Chain A
Amino acid sequence: MTRAWWTKLHLLTRLALFLIVCLHAALGREFLPQLLLFCGLFLLLFACGAAGPHARLLLWAHLVGLPATVLLFLAIGYETARSWSEALSWGLVEALRYALRLECLFLANLVFIGITSPQEIISLFSRRWIPPAVGTLLSTAVRFLPLSLTETRRIYDIQRCRGLRLRPWAPRTCLPIIVPLFVSQMCRAHDTSVMLVVRRMDMGTRCASPRKFGLVDSLVLGLGLATCMPMLF
């Protein structure tokens, strides 16, 4: 099986590209580049296989929240201009810009998480310049992420069996998921900490070395930084 090009990039290159995309999303002033960035990230999300059920659910939840963003900008516009027509024209444009920025940041996160395995992040924490205790703490936190997602799904299924119907406007309906999730995560944290002591990992782990920084990484990183120049100067 041939590996996708993004998995051949060094982790630091991927991290740098992620930061560059975030920079564009947060500081870019032009509407068209932002729209192109959004479309590119959206396509990349599906191309790299990062659009799993959890990602899609989060994306839809985010999009469902957009009307609230528009309403907020309309209200701010009305407060400023005291005219609904001006509030509408200003509010809609600004809400669209704001939503586009937010979605770009959100998609960039999903893509980065999708193309980077927890093990790669853990390997970064086992570098010599990071104290072992800090490395172990960070890598354990990263290990928790996929386990927590699986646990959430499991608890959700259990409560569905008990007739749970989640209603986003009624936070109380989330309690049957939040409480057991908190309890199970506390138990898991306790057991994991005991296991870390047993496995003598409290003095730091030594994982396999990450891939070396190559020519492709330099080129991709150079191109990414070049796109930032007009924005910074």
Chain B
Amino acid sequence: MVSHPESSNHPHNELTALIRTQQLTFQAAGTDAPILDALSLRIQAGERVGIIGPSGSGKTTLALHLTGLHHVALLGHTSGHLWLNGRDSTTSGCEGFAGVVLQNPEIQLFGETVEEEVSLSLQQRTGDFDREHELDRCLNLLGLGELRGQRVATLSLGWKQRLSVASMLALAPKVLLLDEPTSYLDEATADMLFDVLAAQAEHTGLTVLLIEHDLPRLLPWASRLLALQQGRIVFDGPPAAYSSPSPRFIEPAGAIATPLSPTGAERLLSVEGVSFAYNGQGAVLENVSLSAAPGEIVALVGPNGSGKSTLLNLIKGLLEPDDGKIICASPSLRMDAVGLVFQNPDSQLFAHSVFEECSFLPRNQNFPPHEITSRTRHALTQVGLQSHAERVPFSLSYGEKRRLTLASTLSGRSTILCLDEPTVGLDRECLAQVAGILRQVSAQGGAVLLATHDHAFVEAVATRVVSLRAGHIVDDAAPHGGAV
């Protein structure tokens, strides 16, 4: 990805303000504190606005207001003033003004094929335009021209996200909001997406609002940065003037976690010549061999569809390999010896208290009652949630929920901890906490495997980086490139 020039529009020209807010305040139903607290700002056409801030700071709430979708997407009361495209939209919103690309592309796609998906947007678009030309333009812009006849269900997440952007561009909105669009994307696809957005802003005057935690990618791209903290704007200006408050992670991996036995007989996990294919489809993994020793933090990296998550599912035992074998040194069953933490906490929380939620695994692993209690308490202390033991899990913040899912895996008897995209949606404070927990697990003699696209996180915590491409291991090295 390249650094992009400043927007040609003057940022404080009131006459050209596409979006204007004055003392904009939003209070969610049933809460006392406002989520947005008297925000005033102006945004011109063609600006590339990066919105940053910790979880719960009001980024998404602000963005939904700025796109005129607050009246359909939020439950609460908006006060102050909001003008979108010169129209007072404080209470009524402004439908058709903006396009939105969410983190998860799965729910945004409605068509059967790639071409039909973009065509559906073109059918909803008003005004005179050459439909065929626009269809080709939108598809080619995102590199989807070759896939126009392909079924949407068969696309990888990266391609689905490209398609959701193409569908939004086909609507020809004045503003495009993207809420953490790169969470599921590999580096190359994320860079390509940022380049496309910058080009659209430059050539068509599209205003882009982008919520993103990945500052190294966001800062060179944005023409303006908005930083939020507890519903207030704490920084509004050019990204070059923004100084990051603290380093992203506390200390590099080598300082604490050193593999205790990288090549010796004390391997906790051995994956030997494993191949796997989903029913009736091509091989996802072919002849993959990998081992993990106590104390190692192994990062699995690679583009979308390279087989990282499938490998974790195979190691956990959710899938069985077509060929090869997976051996755990632990005397317990592989399902018990390997803990797998999934990305979305809402897909697993169900209990009435944090303690109950965290004790679900040890109870199912038939530990005696006193040990269930001690293991649960220890796991909650490890992730810093011991004071929240009696709270309802659904009332926790997103970062706390993610730590709870980690605790509810740590409370079991697993010696190998696997994490699928552990950094998605986490702000820097949460990332630092997760990094600390992983180092702690590794220091206690466990092995950690994590599948991620976040290279900064990998460099900070991993002791080894395994690169996968098209189902093969293409590299196995230390985080900075040194051979293992």
Select A147's contact among B106, B348, B409, beta carbons within 8 Å.
Answer: B106
- Given the known inter-chain contacts A158-B347, A162-B360, please indicate yes or no for A197 contacting B171, CB distance below 8 A: no
Q: How far is the CB of B212 from chain A (nearest CB, A)?
A: 19
- Chain B residue numbers with a CB within 8 Å of A178 are 350
Q: Measured between alpha carbons, how far is A163 from B317 in the docked complex, in Å? A: 12
- Chain B residue numbers with a CB within 8 Å of A208 are 116
Contact B347 A161 (CB under 8 A): no
A132-160 CB contact bits vs B (8 Å, 1 = yes)? 00000000000100010001001101111
Q: Measured between alpha carbons, how far is A208 from B117 in the docked complex, in Å? A: 12
Chain A at the B interface: mostly helix, strand, loop or mixed? helix
Count of residues in B whose CB is under 8 Å from the partner chain: 47
Q: Measured between alpha carbons, how far is A160 from B124 in the docked complex, in Å? A: 43
Contact B110 A205 (CB under 8 A): yes
Contact A162 B106 (CB under 8 A): no
Interface: B112 (CB within 8 A): yes
Interface: B468 (CB within 8 A): no
B345-358 CB contact bits vs A (8 Å, 1 = yes)? 01111100000000
Contact B364 A165 (CB under 8 A): yes
Contact B95 A197 (CB under 8 A): yes
B102-117 CB contact bits vs A (8 Å, 1 = yes)? 1010111010100010
- Given the known inter-chain contacts A155-B347, A183-B346, A191-B107, please indicate yes or no for A162 contacting B394, CB distance below 8 A: no
Interface: A93 (CB within 8 A): no
Select B350's contact among A165, A176, A207, beta carbons within 8 Å.
Answer: A176
- Chain A residue numbers with a CB within 8 Å of B104 are 191
- Chain B residue numbers with a CB within 8 Å of A155 are 347-348
Select B95's contact among A176, A190, A200, A207, beta carbons within 8 Å.
Answer: A200
Select B69's contact among A165, A187, A197, beta carbons within 8 Å.
Answer: A197
Select B365's contact among A151, A163, A197, A207, beta carbons within 8 Å.
Answer: A163
- Chain A residue numbers with a CB within 8 Å of B95 are 197, 200
- Given the known inter-chain contacts A163-B364, A205-B120, please indicate yes or no for A143 contacting B110, CB distance below 8 A: yes
B136-172 CB contact bits vs A (8 Å, 1 = yes)? 0000000000000000000000000000000110010
Q: How far is the CB of B89 from chain A (nearest CB, A)?
A: 14
Interface: A3 (CB within 8 A): no
Contact A201 B348 (CB under 8 A): no
Q: Measured between alpha carbons, how far is A179 from B351 in the docked complex, in Å? A: 9
- Given the known inter-chain contacts A158-B348, A180-B347, A194-B69, please indicate yes or no for A206 contacting B364, CB distance below 8 A: no
Contact A184 B107 (CB under 8 A): no
B390-424 CB contact bits vs A (8 Å, 1 = yes)? 00001000000000000011001000000000000
- B120, B350, B394 — most chain A CB neighbours (10 Å): B350
- Chain B residue numbers with a CB within 8 Å of A198 are 69, 98-100, 168, 171
Interface: A119 (CB within 8 A): yes
Q: How far is the CB of A125 from chain B (nearest CB, A)?
A: 13
Q: Which residues of A180-211 have CB atoms within 8 Å of chain B's CB atoms?
A: 180, 183-184, 187-188, 190-195, 197-201, 203, 205-208
- Given the known inter-chain contacts A158-B348, A159-B348, A163-B412, please indicate yes or no for A200 contacting B107, CB distance below 8 A: no
Interface: A175 (CB within 8 A): yes
Contact A195 B102 (CB under 8 A): yes
Interface: A164 (CB within 8 A): yes
**Residue ID in chain A nearest B362 by CB atoms:** A163
Select B123's contact among A176, A187, A206, beta carbons within 8 Å.
Answer: A206
**Residue ID in chain B nearest A206 by CB atoms:** B123
- Chain A residue numbers with a CB within 8 Å of B342 are 158, 161
Interface: B458 (CB within 8 A): no
**Residue ID in chain B nearest A188 by CB atoms:** B107
Q: Measured between alpha carbons, how far is A180 from B350 in the docked complex, in Å? A: 6
Contact B110 A200 (CB under 8 A): no
Select A161's contact among B100, B116, B171, B339, beta carbons within 8 Å.
Answer: B339
Interface: B316 (CB within 8 A): yes
Contact B102 A200 (CB under 8 A): no
Interface: B241 (CB within 8 A): no
Contact B348 A200 (CB under 8 A): no
Q: How far is the CB of B102 from chain A (nearest CB, A)?
A: 6
Q: How far is the CB of B339 from chain A (nearest CB, A)?
A: 7
- Given the known inter-chain contacts A158-B347, A163-B412, A184-B346, please indicate yes or no for A199 contacting B69, CB distance below 8 A: no
14 A-B interface contacts by CB (under 8 A): A155-B347, A161-B318, A161-B335, A161-B409, A180-B350, A183-B349, A193-B72, A198-B98, A199-B124, A200-B95, A200-B124, A206-B120, A207-B116, A207-B120
Q: Which 7 A-B pairs have the closest CB atoms?
A: A163-B364, A179-B350, A200-B124, A119-B112, A198-B100, A194-B73, A176-B350
A165-B364, A205-B110, A205-B120 known, 5 other contacts, Cβ within 8 Å: A162-B408, A163-B361, A163-B412, A199-B167, A200-B96
Name A's B-contacting residues (CB within 8 A). 117, 119, 143, 147, 151, 154-155, 157-165, 175-176, 178-180, 183-184, 187-188, 190-195, 197-201, 203, 205-208
